[in-house]
Structure 1
Amino acid sequence: MAENEKPTPDDIRVLDARSLRGLAHPLRMRLLDALREYGPATASQLADRLGESSGATSYHLRQLARYGFVVEDPERGKGRERWWKSAQRGIRMGVNELLHNADPSVRGAMSTMLYELATTHGEEMSTWLGTWREWPEEWRRAWDISDWSTRLTPELAAEMRDKVYEVIQSYREKEVGQDVENSARFRVHLHAFPRDDD
């Protein structure tokens, strides 16, 4: 662990080269996101939600299980019906290590994963923009889409990123249950990167 790196909670999976290869597929990423967002489900339920065939979702769920991202939920289901749930609350990637890995297949898997994440973020924002009028007034005042530019060194940029993470984590610790009136899952996307002056 690096000197400035904080320990990872038990419910956060740290990706290595092997597990990255197991996850870096668009449908697998969507399946895992759906299980984390909406809770346990069968391959057929996930197929309906994602507009895929149940054969495809079933195959990719088994692959996710092979790499330890999902597990069967034995408390649900009857007979041959298999229910799946996420094995962890989230994942963490050593982006720089994986993007600079000596193995080109690891670098390719990391690129696939990053582009898929960026696509998902764009789709989620587009969905919000298309549906925000359907939400109560309190939620229409609580959302944000902003961008800022400031001139920083890499060290200052990393410091700012870490402080933003701390703020977000402090609110994850205050998370409320589904039964709390007027609560909703609240998505936060962070995109931070340098730009050329030209």
Structure 2
Amino acid sequence: MATSEADGTTPPGLNIHHVDARTLRVLAHPLRIRLLTALREFGPATASKLADRLGESSGATSYHLRQLAAHGFVEDDPELGKGRERWWRAKHAGMAFDRSGDFLRDPDPEVRGAIGVVLHEMATTHAQELNTWLGTMHEWPEEWLRSWDASDFKIRLTPELSLELAEKIHELIESYRGRVPEGTEGSAVVRTHLHVFPRPND
């Protein structure tokens, strides 16, 4: 999950990691982003289990997990890490970074490069998740086949109205959080991707 602290769309009450330029550079590695995403999506795991899930070596996942831990993204899970294997869990439900012009136009090219890596990896993950659904949708019950959506819209807006639209969509989504208890029969985790961006007139 990625939210923005610049526009007030960080959901209240959620444990969100507010990323600064220093920690963003640590996160700007495709495997680290994938590891963090997997821990948030599927819960605690060992380096070996994450290696199997992501098709990587356990040496690589172990190294990058330690780097993520050193900068506050993941931590040991004391309830599971009682044997020889070390279990990891994400420390936060999501992350937020400042989308203001000052941050996105940072004079340090390393910071701008890190922002690009994180955002492009996020876009790639969104595309992969949607493609996975499209490739497996036939396996889902009929009621879920009537309940999904993939839409795009073209609306002429000002920057202020674009921000207002994004904030209202965030508020609507958050109004559904917690309404369905964990383990409810027939329920599933629903992924919602939001992309709001301008297009050139020509």
Please indicate, yes or no, whether the TM-score normalized by the shorter chain is above 0.5: yes
3-state SS of 2:175 partner: helix
Give the one of 91, 96, 102 matched to 2:95. 91
1:153 maps to 2:162: no
1:49 maps to 2:56: no
1:135 maps to 2:140: yes
3-state SS of 1:125 partner: helix
8 Å CA contact 1:99, 1:111 repeated in 2: no
Inter-partner Cα distance in structure 1 for 2:177 and 2:145: 21
The more displaced of 17-26 and 95-104 is 95-104
In structure 1, give the amino acid aligned to 2:57: S
TM-score, L = length of structure 1? 0.93
1:120 maps to 2:112: no
Inter-partner Cα distance in structure 2 for 1:22 and 1:57: 15
Question: What fraction of aligned residue pairs are identical, expressed as a percent?
Answer: 59
The more displaced of 167-176 and 55-64 is 167-176
In structure 2, give the amino acid aligned to 1:122: A
In the superposition, relative to structure 1, how do residues 130 and 59 fare at CA in structure 2: closer, same or farther (>3 Å)?
A: same
Count, aligned residues: 197
In structure 2, give the amino acid aligned to 1:126: N
Inter-partner Cα distance in structure 2 for 1:59 and 1:130: 33
In structure 2, give the amino acid aligned to 1:47: A
In the superposition, relative to structure 1, how do residues 40 and 158 fare at CA in structure 2: closer, same or farther (>3 Å)?
A: same
3-state SS of 2:88 partner: strand
3-state SS of 2:25 partner: helix
The more displaced of 47-56 and 88-97 is 88-97
1:193 maps to 2:197: yes
Unaligned runs of 5+ in 1: none
In the superposition, relative to structure 1, how do residues 128 and 94 fare at CA in structure 2: closer, same or farther (>3 Å)?
A: same
8 Å CA contact 1:32, 1:70 repeated in 2: yes
Aligned pairs for 1:26-105 within 5 A: 26-96=30-100, 97-105=102-110
3-state SS of 2:89 partner: strand
8 Å CA contact 2:6, 2:99 repeated in 1: no
Unaligned runs of 5+ in 2: none
TM-score, L = length of structure 2? 0.91
In the superposition, relative to structure 1, how do residues 4 and 121 fare at CA in structure 2: closer, same or farther (>3 Å)?
A: closer
Inter-partner Cα distance in structure 1 for 2:6 and 2:30: 30
8 Å CA contact 1:42, 1:83 repeated in 2: yes
Inter-partner Cα distance in structure 2 for 1:6 and 1:122: 23
> What is the RMSD computed on CA atoms of the aligned residues?
1.9
3-state SS of 1:95 partner: coil
Higher relative contact order (CA 8 A, sep 6+): 2
Inter-partner Cα distance in structure 2 for 1:136 and 1:30: 29
1:107 maps to 2:112: yes
Inter-partner Cα distance in structure 2 for 1:135 and 1:25: 34
8 Å CA contact 2:48, 2:58 repeated in 1: yes
